């Protein structure tokens, strides 16, 4: 296809494996069965037309959308293939529920220059975060509910020595921040830090953390388990966070940013297009979808999260390190759930912001759009704790959540209503919330995910350099677009 021409949609579907004949129903079913993704409702029944594209962009999260916008601005013709029936990926404002809860990304750092510029461009407001509701904390540890101020003297506090004064939610930072050798966020994943590339547990032990501190750190630490994650990632995040002057949130929801970015791209965006195979043959790249249709290109930006790539057939010139990284890089498991609530906290006098060692882990205040009123709760369960709650069906999960609340906050009885949850670990198009790097492997895993493989350039949160979350995703997409422009100049 001509560089600046429209993608050739409308061509009859032909497949190499069928010797160029149109793919029939049996081949379609075979492809569907071979695809290891769970696809409830994701695939359209009518076979979409196949064709070639100037640049294929896989995934319409912030990275894919940013890449496509940049390509378009530079005169190229991207075609975006997105598995879901919506754009935004891990930014997910659920507009079907009251007050549009955010199941994915919320916080927009003051340092998020690209995200904030895009917000301005689209007329979206980012309101500064108001931490009033978060400053005070209720704890529930070893069967006891108490205000965080009472923690140091509580019989539930089994910590040892000086750490007794530290609330469970601050223990990890307490130990890691003072041991953090990083002076700048750039280069945290370089070989120069290899000697420091140890598990979080190892550093916590070295710093004198007790067995109880290690237990509490693993209740709701922002990782799967402290044994399994390199300390370099949390050190990088802690440094970035300390340099942040504040945060905000999208008044219309983070999903509004993705929707606005997708607006200009509409004719070049195909929803319900589940990629099942990416293969390179000579100087051509072929991307096959679950419905059996195929697209060809000379340039591709792949933003699919690594757990998705694990279940995608890849016939690419990948290095051993790349294959290993795709197979091994873990993603932090997160389950988010929302509840409406009458203000039971006014009755028992304890803050609605809760850290617990129950299977529900944490409850955060859910605020009205103006940030003034607490209208409910947001449960946030992460790491290995998600295994138990994710195994429950909807009513089992609702029972667990409400009975836990009744037990730890009796005043909540009959005053809380479950709205819904999202299990990011069980999401076939995410596989988790964010990439987490393994101890001893940071330099090799990071170099591997950053390198292109033949005609494929990778982008997305896991490839972000120097910026976290949404900002990192946007920048990674733009950088991949620039790399393609450069490669084809
Ligand atoms: C619970 C949670 C809280 C978070 N909180 C914050 C926060 O407060 N602040 C912040 O900055 N960041 C936060 N993040 C991180 C942020 O959401 C991500 O870093 C960012 O949105 C990732 O964008 P991406 O484009 O790299 O990936 P994604 O958004 O995952 O985009 C990938 C796209 O690929 C699609 N896809 C997957 N498989 C296929 C397939 N087979 N075929 C076709 N398409 C496919 C997906 O549907 C998706 O749209 C949070 C994330 C989660 C999950």
What the chain holds in terms of domains, given with CATH numbers, is 25-89+252-317+453-487 (3.50.50.60)
Ligand 1 nearest atom to the CA of residue 59, by list position: 34
Is the pLDDT confidence value at 43 over 90?
no
- In this model, does residue 344 exceed pLDDT 90? yes
Band (pLDDT 50/70/90 cuts) for residue 229 is: very high
333 in contact with ligand 1, CB cutoff 6 A: no
Ligand 1 contact via 304 beta carbon (within 6 Å): yes
- Residue 244: the pLDDT is 87
CA-closest residue to ligand 1 atom 33: 59
- Which pLDDT value is given to residue 131? 85
Q: How confident is the prediction for the chain on average, in pLDDT?
A: 89
Largest CA distance in the chain: 76
What DSSP designation does 216 have? H
Return the SS3 of 366. strand
For residue 354, how far is its CA from the centre of ligand 1 (angstroms)? 26
pLDDT tens digits for 87-139? 999 999 999 998 899 999 999 999 999 999 999 999 999 999 888 899 999 99
For residue 93, what is the DSSP state? B
Q: Is the CB of 442 under 6 A from ligand 1?
A: no
Give me ligand 1 centre to Cα 410, in Å.
Answer: 36
Residue 59 CB less than 6 A away from ligand 1:
yes
Q: For residue 104, how far is its CA from the centre of ligand 1 (angstroms)?
A: 8
Letter string b/e over residues 136-153, b meaning 16 or more CB atoms within 10 A of that residue's CB: ebbbbbeeebbebeebee
CA distance 443 to 459: 17
CA of 133 to the centre of ligand 1 (A): 27
Q: Whose CA is nearest to atom 26 of ligand 1?
A: 460
What is the atom index within ligand 1 of the atom nearest the CA of 37? Answer: 41
Distance 23 CA to ligand 1 centre (A): 32
More confident position, 25 or 450: 450
Q: Is 107 near ligand 1, meaning CB less than 6 Å away?
A: yes
Question: Confidence band (pLDDT; 50, 70, 90) for 140?
Answer: very high
What would the mean pLDDT of 318-336 be, rounded to a whole number? 98
Q: Per-residue pLDDT averaged across 73-96, rounded?
A: 97
What confidence score (pLDDT) does residue 31 get? 31
CA distances to 5, 52, 389, 416 from 401, in Å: 53, 49, 9, 10
Query: What local confidence, expressed as pLDDT, does residue 50 receive?
Result: 56
The verdict on the CB of residue 105 being under 6 Å from ligand 1 is yes
Quote the pLDDT of residue 38. 31
Quote the percentage of the chain above a pLDDT of 70. Answer: 90
CB burial string 430-461: b at 16+ within 10 A, e below:
bbbbbbbbbbebbbbbbbbbbebbebbbbbbb
Task: Indicate whether residue 335 lines ligand 1 (CB < 6 A).
Answer: no
CA of 469 relative to ligand 1 center, distance in Å: 8
Whether residue 33 has pLDDT greater than 80: no
Alpha helices in 277-372 (DSSP H): 306-310, 320-328, 344-348
Average pLDDT over residues 145-167: 97
Tell me which DSSP letter residue 278 carries.
E
pLDDT for 412 equals 98
At 464 the three-state DSSP class reads coil
Ligand 1 near 63 CB (within 6 A): yes
Ligand 1 pocket test: pick from 105, 119, 249, 312 the residue with the most ligand atoms within 8 Å of its Cβ: 105
CA of 61 from ligand 1 middle (Å) equals 6
**Is 200 a residue whose pLDDT tops 90?**
yes
Q: Is the CB of 470 under 6 A from ligand 1?
A: yes
pLDDT, tens digit (0-9, with 9 covering 90-100), for 418-435: 999 999 999 999 999 999
Ligand 1 binding pocket includes 90 (Cβ within 6 Å) = yes
What six digits make up the tokens of 46? 């009518």
What residues form DSSP beta bridges with 422? 336
Distance 90 CA to ligand 1 centre (A): 3
Contact 139, 151 (CB under 8 A): yes
* Distance in Å, CA 460 to ligand 1 centroid: 8
Tell how far the Cα of 433 is from the centroid of ligand 1, in angstroms.
7
CB of 431 within 6 A of ligand 1: the answer is: no
Q: How far apart are the C-alpha atoms of 336 and 421, rounded to whole Å?
A: 5
Verify whether ligand 1 is closer than 6 Å to residue 82 (CB atom): yes
């Amino acid at each position: 296809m001509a560089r600046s021409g429209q993608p050739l949609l409308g061509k009859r579907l032909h497949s190499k494996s069928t010797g160029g004949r149109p793919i029939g129903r049996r081949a379609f079913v075979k492809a569907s069965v071979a695809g290891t993704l769970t696809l409830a409702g994701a695939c359209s029944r009518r076979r979409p037309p196949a064709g070639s594209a100037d640049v294929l962009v896989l995934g319409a999260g912030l990275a894919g959308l940013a890449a496509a916008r940049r390509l378009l601005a530079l005169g190229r013709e991207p075609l975006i293939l997105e598995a879901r029936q919506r754009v935004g990926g891990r930014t997910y404002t659920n507009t079907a529920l009251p007050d549009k809860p955010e199941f994915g990304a919320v916080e927009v750092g003051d340092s998020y220059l690209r995200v904030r510029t895009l917000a301005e461009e689209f007329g979206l407001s980012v309101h500064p975060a108001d931490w009033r509701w978060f400053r005070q904390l209720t704890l529930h540890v070893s069967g006891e509910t108490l205000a965080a101020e009472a923690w140091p003297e509580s019989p539930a506090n089994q910590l040892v020595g000086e750490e007794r004064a530290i609330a469970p939610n601050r223990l990890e930072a307490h130990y890691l921040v003072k041991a953090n050798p990083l002076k700048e966020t750039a280069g945290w994943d370089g070989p120069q830090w290899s000697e420091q590339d140890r598990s979080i547990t190892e550093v916590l032990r070295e710093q004198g953390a007790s067995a109880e501190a290690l237990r509490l750190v693993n209740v709701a630490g922002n990782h799967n388990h402290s044994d399994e994650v390199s300390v370099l990632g949390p050190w990088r995040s802690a440094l970035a966070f300390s340099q942040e002057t504040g945060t905000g949130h999208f008044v219309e929801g983070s999903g509004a940013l993705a929707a606005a970015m997708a607006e200009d791209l509409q004719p070049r965006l195909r929803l319900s297009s589940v990629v099942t195979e990416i293969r390179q043959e000579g100087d051509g790249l072929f991307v096959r979808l679950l419905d059996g249709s195929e697209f060809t290109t000379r340039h591709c930006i792949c933003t699919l999260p690594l757990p998705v790539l694990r279940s995608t057939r890849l016939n690419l010139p990948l290095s051993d390190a790349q294959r290993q990284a795709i197979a091994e890089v873990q993603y932090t498991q997160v389950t988010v759930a929302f509840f409406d609530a009458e203000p039971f906290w006014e009755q028992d006098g304890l803050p609605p912001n809760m850290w617990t060692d129950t299977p529900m882990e944490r409850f955060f205040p859910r605020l009205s759009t103006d940030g003034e009123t607490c209208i409910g709760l947001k449960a946030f369960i992460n790491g290995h704790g998600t295994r138990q709650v994710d195994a429950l069906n909807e009513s089992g999960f609702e029972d667990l959540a409400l009975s836990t609340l009744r037990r730890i906050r009796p005043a909540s009885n009959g005053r809380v209503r479950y709205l819904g949850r999202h299990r990011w670990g069980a999401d076939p198009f995410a596989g988790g919330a964010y990439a987490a790097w393994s101890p001893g492997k940071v330099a090799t895993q990071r170099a591997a995910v950053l390198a292109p493989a033949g005609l494929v350039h990778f982008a997305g949160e896991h490839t972000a350099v120097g910026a976290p979350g949404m900002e990192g995703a946007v920048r990674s997409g733009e950088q991949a677009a620039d790399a393609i422009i450069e490669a084809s100049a």
